Structure 1
Amino acid sequence: MTRTVVIAGATGFIGSHLQRRFPEKGWQVRTVGRDASADAHWNDDGAIAKALDGAELLVNLAGRSVNCRYNERHRREILDSRVVTTRALGRAMAVCAEPPRTWINSSTGTIYRHAEDRPQSESSGELGSGFSVDVARAWEDELAAAVVPETRKVPLRIAIVLGTGGGVMSPFRNLARLGLGGHMGPGTQKFSWIHVEDLYRTVSFVHERPELTGPVNAASPYPVDNRELMALVRRSLGVPFGIPTPSWLLEAGSVLIRTQTELVLKSRWVEPRKLLDAGFTFEYPSLAGALNDIAAGTR
């Protein structure tokens, strides 16, 4: 019997990777999104329910990029793209005769506070404050509100995802090539990350282990600080040095390139305690290995 996974928000970097990897393991993939090729679209609850009915796993990745200035319009788009889509999936799941037994819904490691003192696990982590945290809370609250008794719902608190073709590393790599690849701000802020292949493996692992409930952190067990991050980026590119960028200059530059300094200055120290305790092993535990893989794939 063919196993079916429904991927919502499947056209981005992560969704494209999952769409490729699941069929390699014998899965059938159905998609929900705005793209013309999607099996169901967000404005059609009936089509979403049809795509979900009889599927084994739902993975929701829908969400507008946060790489922008947080003006009023962008804040609303960022929130709605996460909460409204999760709500639509909940409505569709409620009318399925055979809903998926696992619903893995994206969340973010940014839900935790700025942490340079200790790692933030699922049980001991402290939630932060501010717009990004408010969005993450609303996202997880919407998942919790969905009434689907037969389905295990898991918010996956994902760290920054790295991989060939992913846009997250491009600004760091470009700065390094220009000789500006030194540390950013104080350089002590933690950088939690996960390779996109390990994220796919995490999704599969969580689905196959019904004992994993509640939020799950998806991050490498070996985060680095910003100084080490930029040193590794330079090394992967063969760039011998990089000029540091002070916080005030980052703030000025972020206005010009229409993004937020939070993306590089917030200290994200996300510990994947549930995964480690359940026996998950990372294919790319070290950032050096992940960056070498990415560099090899982009040459």
Structure 2
Amino acid sequence: MNAPVLVLAGASGFIGRYLQRRFDADGWRIRTIDRSGAAAGNSAHWGGTAGISRALEGSDLLVNLAGKSVSCRYNAGNRAEIFRSRTETTAELGRALADCTAPPRDWFNASTGTIYRHAEDHAQTEADGELGSGFSVEVAKAWEAALTQADLPSIRRIPLRMSIVMGPYVPGEGGGVMRPFEVLARTGLGGRMAAGTQKYSWTHVEDVYRAIRFLHDRPEIRGPVNIASPQVVDNRELMRRVRAALRVPFGFPTPAWLLEMGAVLIRTEIELVLKSRWVESEKLNRAGFQWKYPALSGALAAIRDAERQ
């Protein structure tokens, strides 16, 4: 039997590199789409729609992760690039798939749990989650709209509404989403951020991979899918667990005004730590998905151990 074929778009980032390694280890053949198409093993590049169609022809699964990192200041130029890098690449994939005679059965497109409103009252599920407002939400809405606009009735399309993805830092690839929290803890500022009541939905990158495999094997699941580990914590608890993992006994709280100053200095946005993201993976849980890292303490320990190797 021939090995299944994955086409991975936007494969150069932290999540993409991790998925490449895991799918390869499990015997999949991998074709990638990137900005240049020049890297070894890459078979297509953005702007070369005909080449993308050839890469997609005869494949089994398309996973698209393309998009500029949101860890930046939201000035006019960055806002335009965040928006464009998601919607235009998704639209180009739709055009390329329309030209295929044997397209993949499944197209899973990255999205974000940030599409839901700031929620401290209850979890946001796929069935009853309330969409929010603001720049990040409008980007997510447009991203998902680009996925559904193409006339591709034979292809199952699922927006993956991922919570904050955690994993070990790898030089040249990124990851290490916990590093800013760890720096604060080591410098004595490892207490709550602002009120500390904002929820923190997260998932380990290994569970992103496992969720993608799980969904590919279950064609009955349709529509957007949340990817968020079951144990949601608030910011106060998050920082307590970070301190415990680092064996730091105490941390002073960080007020919102100081967080804003720090965000300017490191060229990011305060929304990334102050928005309350309370996301529940109702579809995965009801379908019987088993999380490898359901609890934050286990995920933090695994990340710490991997970074020490």
Instruction: Please classify the TM superposition score into its range, dividing by the shorter chain length.
Output: over 0.9
Return the alpha-carbon distance in structure 2 between the equivalents of residues 264 and 273 of structure 1: 24
Matched ranges for 1:41-120 at <5 A: 41-120=45-124
Partners of 2:177 and 2:141 lie apart in 1 by: 23
Q: Matched residues in 2 for 1:242 and 1:46: separation?
A: 55
Secondary structure of the structure 1 residue equivalent to 2:84: helix
2:172: which partner in 1?
none
SS at match of 1:90: helix
Q: SS in structure 2 opposite 1:119?
A: coil
* Residue matched to 2:140: 136
* Aligned-partner Cα distance in 1 for 2:5–2:192: 44
C-alpha distance in 1 between matches for 2:48 and 2:250: 53
Q: Check if 1:292 corresponds to 2:301.
A: yes
Q: Whole-Å Cα distance in 2 between the matches of residues 242 and 297 of structure 1?
A: 25
- 2:255 corresponds in structure 1 to 246
Distance 1:282 1:167 in 2: 20
* 1:271 has 2:280 as partner: yes
Does 2:239 align with 1:235? no
Q: Letter of the 1:79 partner, please give it.
A: F
Matched, 1:186 2:190: no
1:256 Cα deviation from its structure 2 partner: 1.9
**After TM superposition, where is structure 1 displaced by more than 2 Å over at least 4 residues in a row?**
none
Mapped partners of 2:176, 2:248: distance in 1 = 20
Q: AA paired with 2:272?
A: L
Q: CA deviation at 1:219?
A: 0.6
Give 2:131's aligned amino acid: L
% of aligned pairs identical? 61
Match of 1:148 in 2: 152
Structure 1 residue aligned with 2:10: 9
Matched, 1:223 2:232: yes
Q: CA deviation at 1:181?
A: 1.1
CA distance in 1, matches of 2:256, 2:87: 32
Distance (Å, rounded) in 2 between the aligned partners of 1:249 and 1:178:
14
Per-residue deviation, 1:167: 3.4
Superposed CA offset, 1:136-160 (max 9, x none): 0000000010121110000000000
Partner of 2:268: 259
SS of the residue 1:153 aligns to: strand
Q: Distance in 2 between matches of 1:167 and 1:9?
A: 19
Q: TM-score, normalised by structure 2?
A: 0.95
Query: How many residue pairs get matched?
Result: 299
- d(CA) in 2 for partners of 1:148, 1:207: 17
Structure 1: unaligned runs, 5 residues or longer: none
TM-score, normalised by the number of residues in structure 1? 0.99
More deviation, 168-177/201-210: 168-177
Classify the secondary structure of the residue corresponding to 2:7: strand
Q: Which runs of 5+ in 2 are unaligned?
A: 170-174
Equivalent positions of 1:179-218 (< 5 A) are: 179-218=188-227
Deviations, residues 162-208 of structure 1 (Å, cap 9, x unaligned)? 01121311111111111111110100000000000000000111111
Q: Does 1:281 align with 2:290?
A: yes
